[in-house]
Structure 1
Amino acid sequence: MVEDVPVHPPQTAPTPAAPTPDHVDSLAAVLDLVRSGTATTRPEIGRKSGLGRTVVTQRVNQLTDCGLLEEGPLGPSSGGRAPRELRFRAHAGVVLAAELGATSVTVGVADLAGQILTQLEEPTDIALGPDQVLGHVEELFDRLLAQVTASTGGSSTATWGIGIGLPGPVEFATGRPSAPPIMPGWDGYPVRDRLARRFNAPVWVDNEVNTMALGELRAGSAKGERDILYVKIGTGIGAGLISGGQLHRGSQGCAGDIGHAAVTEDTSVVCRCGNTGCLEAFAGGAALAREGLAAAEEGRSEFLARVLAESGTVRAVDISRAAQSGDRTSVALLTQAGRLVGSLLATLVSFYNPALVIIGGGVAGAGDLLLAAVRESVYRRSLPLATRELRISRSTLSDQAGLVGAAFMVIDELFTPERLGRWVEIGSPAGFPELVDVPLRTPVL
């Protein structure tokens, strides 16, 4: 007779308890201090964070064990044993970033410190629609990832997240464009969902001007500032607002869309949004090209007439070149555009009172002429108190601001305490696109 032996279910490891809010808050605080370079040793972390020595040691050990921090050389001694420096492992993963413009797309791969490792820019037409344009972006991402893998000796680096800047209004909560004037076929398109499925990583999508503002805040001329107005003057015109060191998107994500504010009663030009009198329709790159073409055809500019004869068209960049060569008509066009932009900015400066206004975008690269006209209008029309210490300067990141900002958008979102607590134990957020849906106790930038 065979004795019955009780059968027990296979033993499984207990599921670890989720970190408490206090735990992830202190973990994120320690990581942020090291990532930002504010503190590089355990004693410095304790002084800057107010955390006790035991808690600091525990959090540093946890972050080191999961691969986010590493030990560096010995730091300076303050009298006792020299402390060991800590370093953030920025090479632990990569972030994909893309800035989509009206006529070009720029893509890049960044490390976890926001440093662009490699990038590509290629012409495109945003009006071709999301399937064709995003398919092109995906191909470029694959190409750059292959380059990064080759440069590391064949060791693949995990994609921790993706950041996309689009040239139109974006509902940030869903990552979907909303009635974008220059993007036919994009309204409501699930940009975030498509890229999340393709690369199995969390994705954030925003208006490109917001990513440009964020890029300047994190790595450009606005670093260390708290109240900034970033203005892009390109094919279109838009603004990004930084308030109290945080990006202000508004309740739906369309804050700063100044390109379609009315600046004139002139109804002769219909804007791409369908209205008349919009700033963009009279001062944007397309408006300058339109006026430059008319000047060439009517014989009011010999320089632009030659450009038209040679190339068959006149672009905004041609007007910049003509103005720098002394062409009076082009000088007048740029000056008028600068005054229109400056007149609207004067209202915003008095209303918002920023410490810094940054002018970026393709048309903003026209030289000092446009910038001087903007400054003249702002300083003349704004309240004296609002302009007493105001600086108005050109972007230092130039055409890389949007790409850098898209990378930092992802990095900022990944390292919020709520999201960090979801993936820190496994050391990487790669493979968790659902992280974008984690609710935050305090909204990120």
Structure 2
Amino acid sequence: MVDWHHLSDGERALLERLFWTGGLSRGDLAASVDFSKSKANMAIASLLGRELIEEGGVQPSTGGRRPELLRLSHGMGVLAAIDIGATSIDVALLAPDMTLIDHRSEAADVHAGAPLVFARVRNLLRQMRERHDIAAGRVLGIGVGVPGPVAFDSGMLVNPPLLPGWETFSIRDCLAEEYAAPVFVDNDVNIMALGTHWRLRGQLRNFLVIKIGTGIGCGIICHGAVYRGTDGSAGDVGHICVDPHGPLCHCGNAGCVEAMAAGPAIARMAEAAAHAGESALLKELLDRNGVLSPMDLGNASRAGDAAANAIVQQAGGWIGRMLAAVVNFFNPSHIFIGGGVAKVGPLFLASIRQSVYQRSLALSTRHLDIQYVPQVESAGVIGAGVMAVQETMLAGPERR
């Protein structure tokens, strides 16, 4: 196991530059940090000697010999990344530079309880390690995302509304039975925000990621880092009230945007429209399958069904109303929309945009861009891996 405590600040700064850029030439790496070229070259030589960085190919020539590209060493070990959703689990093994070694995704029911879910997670990790002949001791760090509020320092869930019974379960202790590597736990939307941040190479400093699925949450990147708040509950926007006369939410309050525009609410509106005879297409789908999903609604909307379009626009409008308040407060440069419900179609995104721009202050939206999460299918596990790298390799001793 690598001893990260003996890294100098300069060495850690170089590792961080390589991580966020994906790789640099020796000259570009030395020039990218705020200390002398000679000190940078000494630190680079030290990192190469300890096999923490390696040469990973050549850059295009600008005249003369093509420079060697330096990157985080694949030989130092691997990272385990786990993304738990309300209805699925994603597990991956990653190299330190976020190269995907293996990735498995499958359906899961979090209501079955944390012990059963994490027994499956451990089995998947074990199968992937055996497939690639990677010993448990080669795992450098483990990142875990869960769909609920997390006290980051302890890694424990706190009153998770979608995960009854999980708050007494220690994810760290469970994984420690098999791995000596440190385990870091955060809520799934913070993980998605970190994955998006890395995909964009850290170029955006202030943005939001909204995950719309069984619940609605927000990951906040503020000044280039995840903002979690005092107790880890920052970004719990699903319980912002958008209609005081709206339906009762599972949190006990009325009119929360999650109760009106998350996946279950959208499915209920679609089924109500089908039963009321407002849509022959939705009625046909309901009769055939017994239930309707947000994806059924999205397919009907793409087919031009008027009732489906009205539901999609209404749900997008509610989410936009909530986001307008957040935009006025935070003034982000970008909002990225992700989660399963985001796939219902372009009308949903258009409705969110229209509502945000209509209700936000002109100054707050002058440079605002609202779009889908880039490469959303792997944002969760990449984000869990980014968290593991940041907390294991790049954090100073005072943060561990």
TM-score with structure 1 setting the length:
0.83
Contact 1:263 1:279 in 2 (8 A): yes
Q: Deviations over 1:333-377 (max 9, x none)?
A: 110000000011111111100000111111111111011111111
The answer as to 2:216 corresponding to 1:234 is no
Residue aligning to 1:182: 162
Superposed CA RMSD in Å reads 2.6
Matched, 1:212 2:181: no
Q: Counterpart of 1:270 in 2: which secondary structure?
A: coil
Percent identity at matched positions? 37
Q: Deviations over 1:50-80 (max 9, x none)?
A: 4335433432232122211234678799999
| Distance (whole Å) between structure 2 residues aligned to residue 413 and residue 324 of structure 1 | 43
Q: What residue number does 2:265 align with?
A: 287
What is residue 399 of structure 2 aligned with on the other side?
440
Q: Quickly say closer, same or farther: Cα 1:264–1:129, change in 2 above 3 A.
A: same
Structure 1 equivalent of residue 303 of structure 2 = 325
Paired position in structure 1 for 2:183: 203
1:138-217 to 2 correspondence within 5 Å? 138-149=122-133, 158-217=138-197
Q: Distance in 1 between matches of 2:56 and 2:102?
A: 26
- 1:64 maps to 2:42: no
Letter in 2 for 1:358: F
Identify the range of structure 1 (40-49 vs 296-305) with the bigger mean alpha-carbon deviation. Answer: 40-49
Structure 2 distance, partners of 1:157, 1:65, is: 21
Could you tell me which amino acid in structure 2 is paired with residue 135 of structure 1?
A
C-alpha deviations, 1:231-276, integer Å up to 9, x for none? 1111111101111111101111110001111111225x32222322
Q: 48-57 or 386-395, which moves further after superposition?
A: 48-57
Secondary structure of residue in 2 paired with 1:314 = coil
Of stretches 114-123 and 345-354 in structure 1, the one that deviates more from structure 2 is 114-123
Q: 1: distance between equivalents of 2:375 and 2:391? A: 22
Shift of 1:91: 4.5
Offset at residue 24 of structure 1 (A): 1.3
In structure 2, how many angstroms separate the alpha carbons of the residues matched to 1:273 and 1:415?
38
User: What residue number does 2:70 align with?
Assistant: 86
1:308 is paired with a residue of what secondary structure?
helix
Equivalent pair of 1:235/1:285 in contact (CA under 8 Å): yes
Q: Which residue of 2 aligns with 1:375?
A: 353
In structure 1, the gaps of 5 or more residues are 1-15, 420-438
Question: What is the deviation of 1:83?
Answer: 7.0
What residue in structure 2 maps to residue 52 of structure 1? 36
**Whole-Å separation in 1 of the counterparts to 2:300 and 2:386:** 37
State the AA in 2 paired with 1:440: R
Counterpart Cα distance in 1 of 2:276 and 2:56 = 68
| Whole-angstrom distance in 2 between the partners of 1:440 and 1:58 | 25
Counterparts of 1:185 and 1:89, CA distance in 2: 40
Which of 238, 241, 266 does residue 262 from structure 1 map onto? 241
1:373-412 alignment runs, 5 A limit: 373-412=351-390
Q: In the aligned structure 2, how far is the partner of 1:72 from the partner of 1:403?
A: 23
Distance 1:190 1:155 in 2: 23
Bigger mean CA offset, 158-167 vs 67-76? 67-76
1:285 and 1:83, CA in 2 relative to 1: closer, same or farther beyond 3 A?
A: closer
Residues 1:273 and 1:50: Cα distance change in structure 2 (over 3 Å): closer
Contact 1:228/1:242 (CA < 8 Å) preserved in 2? yes
Counterpart of 1:314?
292
Flag the 1:127–1:72 CA change in 2: closer, same or farther, 3 A: closer
DSSP-derived class of the 1:299 partner? coil
Q: Does 1:275 align with 2:275?
A: no
Q: 1:56 to 1:333 in 2, by over 3 A?
A: same
CA distance in 1, matches of 2:22, 2:339: 32
Q: Give the whole-Å Cα distance in 2 for the aligned partners of 1:72 and 1:303.
A: 54
The CA distance in 2 between the partners of 1:165 and 1:99, in whole Å, is: 5
Which amino acid is the alignment partner of residue 129 of structure 1?
Answer: G
Give the conservation status (yes or no) of the 8 Å contact 2:57–2:68: yes
Q: Does 1:29 align with 2:7?
A: no
The runs of 5 or more residues in structure 2 that have no matched partner are none
Deviates more, 1:270-279 or 1:160-169: 270-279
In structure 2, the CA distance between the partners of 1:241 and 1:73, relative to structure 1 (3 Å rule), is closer
Match of 1:13 in 2: none
Change (3 A) 1:110 1:38: closer
Of 65, 71, 90, 1:106 maps to: 90
- 1:434 match: none
Q: Give 1:142's aligned amino acid.
A: R
* Offset of residue 81 of structure 1: 9.4
SS in structure 2 at match of 1:377:
helix
Q: Distance in 1 between matches of 2:339 and 2:60?
A: 44
Q: CA contact under 8 A between 1:114 and 1:411: conserved in structure 2? A: no
Q: Equivalents in 1 of 2:70, 2:372: separation in Å?
A: 36
CA distance in 1, matches of 2:372, 2:66: 44
Q: Within 2, Cα distance between the matches of 1:257 and 1:196?
A: 29
Q: Does the 8 Å contact 2:23/2:69 carry over to 1?
A: no
TM-aligned CA distance change 1:45 to 1:51, over 3 Å: farther
- TM-score between both structures, scaled by the size of structure 2: 0.92
